[in-house]
Amino acid sequence: ELEESGGDLVQVGGSLTLSCVMSERPLENYAIGWFRQVPGKEREYLAAVAWNEARRYYARSVKGRFTIRKDNPRNTAYLEMTSLKPEDAAVYYCAAAVGGWAERVLSQPDKYGYWGQGTQVTVSS
């Protein structure tokens, strides 16, 4: 249903764009969230975009550095990451929720019905 790609090894201060392709369903009907997880820790909310793209939300840890967007004709969402730090290293996941729009909802992993398998981002110093 969802497939992430774009994870890579990048140097501190570098940039990376992750992609999230939705198959079998029209992305335009879904809000998208990006999360990340490191071993031994809970999945961390990073950013979300409402189904109609009227709102974009960011966690404090990534605001000003990451940008979330949707490309509905391509059925693809993106997370553009800049000024990467060692603490940004993690497995990154995209998730989709039908018709979601409020951050208090979209910041909660259990509100998403669809998840990708994750893509690894490594940041070297």
Q: For residues 34 and 79, what is the distance between their CA atoms, to the nearest angstrom?
A: 7
Under a CB-based contact definition with an 8 Å cutoff, are residues 102 and 81 in contact?
A: no
Model confidence at 100: pLDDT above 90: no
Which H or E run includes 106? helix 103-106
pLDDT tens digits, residue range 50-98? Answer: 999 999 999 999 999 999 999 999 999 999 999 999 999 999 999 999 9
